[in-house]
Copies of this chain bind each other. A is one copy, B any other.
């Protein structure tokens, strides 16, 4: 009965014609009130998904803008390819691994892969899970989060990492590391059962990516000349217009990232929540950028554009763990603190001689932690203790397995280009193709 077509009850007043109509209505056509939520949520996943896909371009532009000209081609290549690898690996293994049903242990995945994660063409209403959305749309949306995790790693390790070992790392990260840790929460694993809360992935995506990047940075070491004679040398980004474009792209894509994570759009409550998430997300980004603006003016006497850009991203990461519950005022506070963290963490990392080319560790790892810790401030269903358990368990797992993998890759063939190649630039040395062959006189 659930799916039979509604007919006009105005017929109650005029019964006769209705009886005839009712016989037509025996054909089981669903009313839109039955299928509306399914359709709207699927649409949310598709729109949210293409917005997050667009973030891949944002990372590419941000990183291409922040590295030196001689490494731009390499950075662009890494961003296109890591997204492609994620698309294959998350399908081949990751998605099954992340949503295992009742347990998060690895299922007989390789056998099940070719078959039927996606529903048949022209899915019949009777076969659809009307309480949810299309599986393909869900897969599409979730894939983009997996790819984002890999994008985060790319920037930190720029200007010195070999291309192929990086790709191998991405294969394992998107096929195994990310899906395993994400399954602990979003796959119904132990963190979700404990009451850990990470709405759109401050910890699961951003911190995880940051931990993987940190492990890589430790194994890889800093760029030549970065820390010399106790001094930190700045290597200014080659194209701040691209870096700014990348930041705007990420800001835009984040509406899909957080808004889509409502995972429903077909009820008044859900679509209203998506609206709340949009404004909170925007406010946190604005607050992060303004915080960095004011702080760099105060501390350095000059505004630092790259700090303002990273401040906006810091605000976005910070609000990602809980973009729904906060008021606009609390979103401003949470995002603003994110901006402050970045301004202090960037020079602090340099003191530790951890060379993070684009500031991904402060933005994604540290603000991811901050955002996750801040959840109980606005969401009464959570506790600091449980949040810490989630942060630590995902952090420890991702850091350790990443570290091991980087060390293994280092042992087998190495992960760092030669000193000569690094000085020449990876574009010429590794790819034989410069990004700006007519402008740059290397």
Contacts and interface: CB of A to CB of B under 8 A. Distances in A.
B51 A26 contact: no
Given A7-B6, A91-B283, A278 B77 contact: no
Contact of A49 (B37, B69, B278): B278
Nearest to A274: B46
Given A50-B252, A128-B272, A238-B437, 4 more contacts: A4-B10, A13-B22, A77-B308, A85-B290
Nearest to A437: B236
A244 B146 CA distance: 21
Contact of A22 (B10, B40, B69, B283): B10
A87 B282 contact: yes
A334 interface: no
B431 A302 contact: yes
Contact of A12 (B19, B80, B236): B19
Given A4-B10, A276-B121, A436-B238, A249 B57 contact: yes
Nearest to A269: B122
A423 interface: no
Contacts of A287: 84, 88
A324 B329 CA distance: 37
Contact of A140 (B1, B34, B275, B304): B275
Interface stretch (A60-68, A341-349, A363-371, A394-402): A60-68
A15 interface: yes
A124 interface: yes
Interface in A299-331: 302-306, 308-309, 312, 324-325, 327-329
A172 interface: no
Given A121-B324, A305-B433, A22 B35 contact: no
Interface in A39-83: 39-40, 42-43, 45-47, 49-51, 53-54, 56-57, 60-61, 64-65, 68-69, 72-73, 76-77, 79-81, 83
Nearest to A86: B286
Nearest to A293: B81
A140 B39 CA distance: 23
A312 B85 CA distance: 12
Given A140-B278, A279-B118, A68 B438 contact: yes
B10 A5 contact: yes
Contacts of A163: 303
Contact of A136 (B140, B275, B433): B275
